[in-house]
Amino acid sequence: MYTLTYNVMWLIKQDKNRAVPWRARVVFLAALARLVCCGQTTNLAVTPSADAFVRSLAPADNYGAAGALSVSGSAAVNGSGQQNGLFDTLIRFPMADLAESMNGSFGTNGWLITGVVLTVSEVAAPNNPIFNQGVGAFEIRWIASDTWQEGTGTPMQPTMDGVAYQDLASVLNASVDVSLGQFTNSGVSQDVSFSLPLAGALVSNILVGADVNLYLTAASASVGFTFNSRNYTQTNAWPGLVLTAVPKLAPRISSVERSGTGQVTIRFNTASNWTYTLQDLAGLPAGPERGWSNLFTVPAKPSDSQSVFVDGETNAVRLYRLVLTP
């Protein structure tokens, strides 16, 4: 979880015993960080540097050069009604170039990931009878292992030079790997997308430019999900990891004004998919992070908006700030 606090505002409430104009008692402190417009969003697509499926009925065989990938449960069968065993898939996405580009554009650690979507081109009825068919649930995991080898095997000519089903015990680590949820294939030949949660390990990989390794496995017996691999002849049908990135935003309180007897109105703009919390501190701060209280929270929304909070007026010095979290 990231917490951003760039803009703050001192507000000295009106002292009714003194004849000092209201506007003279509102002082803005400029943001110390560079202000970047909330509308700057970058969408980036990364294709795999390695992918392979593995198959339980041929536990020593590698299929890393196949034109398709597959995830299959125990009840799925091919077009002729034959069960070809369990299938799992491994995909590796390189992040070094992306991180270098983003650091060059926005500065090191000057950007955040706000969305990760896996896109694939589903093949509902594969031509090769090795692949099972059927609609069902499957799980996507982020895995820590980055040592598995793609290999050069195909369904017609399997090899033993890359990852195989018998290697999964050494590739997977239940205490470290992170489930990114369960999803369902469409059963139709079309592009499909799966929005992944922003798990800490996944986001950290992206931000530091480390490879992202995903593991897809059956979560139901019926699933027979086949989709094109990076070895498919048409590159626009390859798997992709579509990332949404934004510069670190500077939250701003846009206005403070007296709105009636005993009331002060505070306005600020919000950017989509971020949570904003307005905090206050009565009196001068005892330390940089001590004594702050939450006044008002705006949950993440799908679009930009303006928020308004009405505070009760007191005869005191009060400090306001915005805290922004993705």
Nearest one of 88, 113, 51, 110 to 273, comparing CA atoms: 113
Any domain includes 3:
no
- Tokens 């955040």 correspond to 112
Q: 222, 247, 272: which is the final residue of a domain? A: 247
Beta-strand relationship, 178-184 and 87-93: unpaired
Q: Which residue has the higher pLDDT, 70 or 299?
A: 70
Same domain for 153 and 236, yes or no, is: yes
Neighbours of 157 (CB within 10 A): 11
Q: What is d(CA 148, CA 161) in angstroms, rounded to the nearest whole number?
A: 11
Any domain includes 1:
no
Contacts of 254 (CB under 8 A, 6+ apart): 267, 268, 269, 306
DSSP H or E segment with residue 259: strand 253-260
Same domain for 91 and 231, yes or no, is: yes
Provide the residue range defining the domain that includes 56: 42-247
Any domain includes 113:
yes
Same domain for 287 and 304, yes or no, is: yes
Any domain includes 2:
no
Is pLDDT above 70 for 285? no
Any domain includes 156:
yes
Same domain for 220 and 130, yes or no, is: yes
pLDDT at 312: 80
Report pTM: 0.71
Same domain for 128 and 240, yes or no, is: yes
Please check whether residue 210 is in contact with residue 170, taking contact to mean a CB–CB distance below 8 angstroms.
no
Q: What is d(CA 295, CA 89) in angstroms, rounded to the nearest whole number?
A: 48
Q: 247, 269, 297: which is the final residue of a domain? A: 247
Q: Tens digit of pLDDT for each residue in 76-99?
A: 999 999 999 999 999 999 999 999
CA 190 to each of CA 57, 99, 128, 260: distance values in angstroms, whole numbers, following the listed order: 28, 30, 18, 58
DSSP 165: G
Same domain for 32 and 47, yes or no, is: no
Any domain includes 120:
yes
How does the average pLDDT of the chain come out, rounded? 84
Same domain for 156 and 21, yes or no, is: no
Is pLDDT above 90 for 161? yes
CB-side exposure of 146: number of CA atoms within 13 Å?
9
Mean pLDDT across the stretch 274-302? 77
Is pLDDT above 60 for 24? no
Looking at the structure of the chain, the number of domains it has is 2
Q: 247, 262, 283: which is the final residue of a domain? A: 247
Same domain for 183 and 229, yes or no, is: yes
Nearest one of 91, 76, 194 to 145, comparing CA atoms: 91
